[in-house]
Amino acid sequence: MGLARVARERRQVFQASRMLACGQPRILHETLNFEDAFAAAPAARVFPLLAEHDQFIRYRRQSASYGDVPVIAADRGHVTAVTSPAPLREHLGRCLSSGEYAG
pLDDT for the residue 21? 66
Full-model pTM? 0.58
DSSP 48-81: -EEETT-SSS-HHHHHHTTTTS--EEESS-TTHH
Written as tens digits, the pLDDT of the chain (103 aa) is: 566 776 777 777 777 777 666 777 777 677 777 778 777 877 777 888 888 888 777 888 888 888 888 898 888 887 887 788 888 888 889 888 876 655 5
Show me where the domains of the chain are located.
1-33, 42-103
Q: Which amino acid, 15? A: Q
pLDDT for the residue 1? 53
